């Protein structure tokens, strides 16, 4: 029997790795992949709690998270293609039109 804490620790480790990817990398594609990693680590947490509490809500929420992640990737890659087409930038540091 695997204790719940192992799943929590695994998802926190994946969350930290994803956050490190968002903060440290400068390639915008890798930043998007790290965001996917963060969303998936949250999914592991939701499903683990759903199993250990025997409650369906965790699984339902994790389906919603997966859907929102898919929508987010479609829009983000569309923005990325428009950006590369208009100014040829794939580096996060070069994208500062909005002074962010």
Partner 1 sequence: MAETVFFFIFAIIAVGSAVAVVTLRNPVHSVISLMVCFLQMAALFVLLRSPFLAAVQIFVYVGAVLVLFLFVIMMLDIRQASMERFVSGGHFWVIALLVVLIAEMIFIVSRSKFTNMAVATGSRLDGSVKEMGTALFTKYLLPFEVISLILLVALLGAIVLGKKELR
Which tokens hold the place of 13?
């480790």
User: Which residues inside 44-63 make contact with partner 1, applying CB under 8 A?
Assistant: 44, 47-56, 59-60, 62-63
β-bridge partners, 27: 91
Nearer to partner 1, 23 or 98 (CB): 23
Q: Classify each residue of 1-15 as buried b or exposed e, where b means 16 or more C-beta atoms within 10 Å of its C-beta.
A: eeeeeebeeebeebb
Question: Per rule CB under 8 A, is residue 87 in the interface with partner 1?
Answer: no
User: Which residues inside 20-39 make contact with partner 1, applying CB under 8 A?
Assistant: 20-21, 23-27, 29-30, 32-34, 36-37
């Amino acid at each position: 029997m695997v204790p719940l804490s192992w799943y929590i620790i695994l998802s926190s480790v994946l969350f930290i790795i994803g956050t490190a990817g968002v903060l440290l990398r400068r390639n915008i594609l890798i930043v998007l992949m790290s965001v996917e990693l963060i969303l998936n680590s949250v999914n592991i947490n939701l499903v683990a709690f759903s199993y250990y509490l025997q409650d369906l809500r965790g699984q339902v929420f994790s389906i919603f998270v997966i859907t929102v992640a898919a929508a987010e990737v479609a829009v983000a890659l569309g923005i990325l293609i428009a950006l590369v087409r208009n100014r040829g930038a794939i580096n996060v540091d070069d994208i500062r039109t909005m002074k962010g």
